[in-house]
Amino acid sequence: MSYLHAIELELQQIRDANRYREISDGAPAGIDFSSNDYLGLASEPQVVEALRRATRAGSAGARLLGGAHREHRLLEEELAVWLGRERVLLFSSGYHAALGAIPVLARAVGGSIASDELNHASLIDGVRLAKSPRIVYPHADFERGAIAGPALLVTESIFSMGGDAVGLLALLATLGAADALLVDEAHALGVAGAAGAGLARELNDPRVVVLGTLSKAFGAHGGFIAGPGALIDLLVNRARTFIFDTALPPSLALAARVSLLLVRNGDTRRERLRANAGRLRAGLRELGFPVTEGPSPIVPVILGSEARALEVSRALLERGIVAPAVRPPTVPAGGSRLRLSVRSDHRAEQIDRLLEELATCTVTS
């Protein structure tokens, strides 16, 4: 049997389970509630202008070879000050940061890894690459007694599919002197905390390591690890996704620096974002949907089956609302949903329109 025949059989199994995915030809037309551009900075003129001023398209190499540029260092320094961390190291994406940092950090800790069961795929893959003894603990319910010896605890701060926030101070209180806590702040940076610096900003402890991305509230691209200087030096020497990967284009680093300035001074945007998220949550409660409270602009509408989520998503798109269905393996079986992402530049009437159409679609579809 040809391998192509085996591929067709597997694709058919995916279709039969209502889990088949396709890449759309450009962004669907309609009011978009799918984007992680929480502060609307991806199209902010000042950020776009930074890209227009670029004199080269790419970095032209790994950073340890010919790909090092001044903008990388400046962005790292500015991020470190904002986050209250000793040093920052840029990666070409948040996914690369997770894959590179977790194995290195796990070896340094020298014990086991504890990972939240709802962690993002990048964290899961990083944990697997570490090849350390590991446990997957129930969501937001870590017990230090479940692991003997040193431990690396891996968690998101705001979870990407549920929008709920974990209690970082409580997690920190469980750590021993030899432990470490890696916090993925991808969906918190720019959104939560003082000056948008995330939920881990208040944790002034060298055992806390922050993983971040520039591709969500920053509206740019790239990822980073923030933590003690010694750890950053070790990542430069041991993190394979830093050593062997082409560096982030300096034009994107410059755009991210402009975004950082806007994020740090973005309290007005964050106030609009919180108001929009509150309006959506209140409307969903009135429609009878369970709503998770918290600082997140991610508001899931749980519909259960893959078929049901696809049905409602397609009906909304026909009515001019972009709200993609999220299905396993991105979420657990039986937890298919619409993952609604609110932005600061959504207007009140757009949120009301979403609620009106959602009420219609969930009744008629």
Digit-coded pLDDT (tens) for 50-108:
999 988 889 999 999 999 999 999 999 999 999 999 999 999 999 999 999 999 999 99
Query: Which one is catalytic: 69, 120, 221, 346?
Result: 120
Mean pLDDT, range 35-39, rounded to an integer: 96
Query: Taking 70 as the threshold, does the pLDDT of residue 300 lie above it?
Result: yes
pLDDT, mean over the chain: 95
Query: Taking 60 as the threshold, does the pLDDT of residue 326 lie above it?
Result: yes
Alpha-carbon distance of 248 to 241, in angstroms, equals: 12
Query: Which one is catalytic: 44, 156, 164, 185?
Result: 156
Active site residue 96: no
Active site residue 119: no
Looking at residue 146, its pLDDT comes to 86
Mean pLDDT, range 146-170, rounded to an integer: 95
Active site residue 76: no
Active site residue 265: no
Query: Which one is catalytic: 164, 179, 184, 185?
Result: 184
Looking at residue 25, its pLDDT comes to 80
pLDDT (tens digit, 9 = 90+) per residue, 93-137? 999 999 999 999 999 999 999 999 999 999 999 999 999 999 999
- Provide the whole-model pTM: 0.95
**Structural domain boundaries of the chain?**
27-41+267-364, 57-264
pLDDT (tens digit, 9 = 90+) per residue, 220-268? 999 999 999 999 999 999 999 999 999 999 999 999 999 999 999 999 9
Query: Which one is catalytic: 122, 132, 160, 259?
Result: 160
CA distances from 356 to 15, 21, 321, 344 (A): 30, 27, 11, 20
Out of 19-33, 111-125, 319-333, least confident range: 19-33
Query: Which one is catalytic: 69, 72, 96, 216?
Result: 216
Which residues, other chains included, contact 234 with Cβ-Cβ below 8 Å and sequence gap of 6+? 104, 108
Mean pLDDT, range 268-281, rounded to an integer: 97
Alpha-carbon distance of 322 to 341, in angstroms, equals: 10
Topology of domain 27-41+267-364 in CATH is Aspartate Aminotransferase, domain 1 (3.90.1150)
Query: Taking 80 as the threshold, does the pLDDT of residue 149 lie above it?
Result: yes
Query: Taking 70 as the threshold, does the pLDDT of residue 19 lie above it?
Result: yes
Query: Which one is catalytic: 69, 96, 187, 346?
Result: 187
Query: Which amino acid is it at 114?
Result: A
Query: Taking 70 as the threshold, does the pLDDT of residue 363 lie above it?
Result: no
Query: Which amino acid is it at 156?
Result: E
Active site residue 160: yes
Mean pLDDT, range 186-205, rounded to an integer: 97
Cis, bond preceding 329 (omega within 30 deg of 0): yes
Domain 57-264 = CATH 3.40.50.970: no
Domains 27-41+267-364 and 57-264 are alike in CATH topology: no
Looking at residue 350, its pLDDT comes to 97
Looking at residue 364, its pLDDT comes to 60
Looking at residue 365, its pLDDT comes to 54
With bands split at pLDDT 50, 70 and 90, how would you rate the model's confidence at 295?
Answer: confident
Looking at residue 29, its pLDDT comes to 81
Mean pLDDT, range 358-365, rounded to an integer: 78
Active site residue 116: no
Active site residue 139: no
Query: Taking 90 as the threshold, does the pLDDT of residue 327 lie above it?
Result: yes
With bands split at pLDDT 50, 70 and 90, how would you rate the model's confidence at 28?
Answer: confident
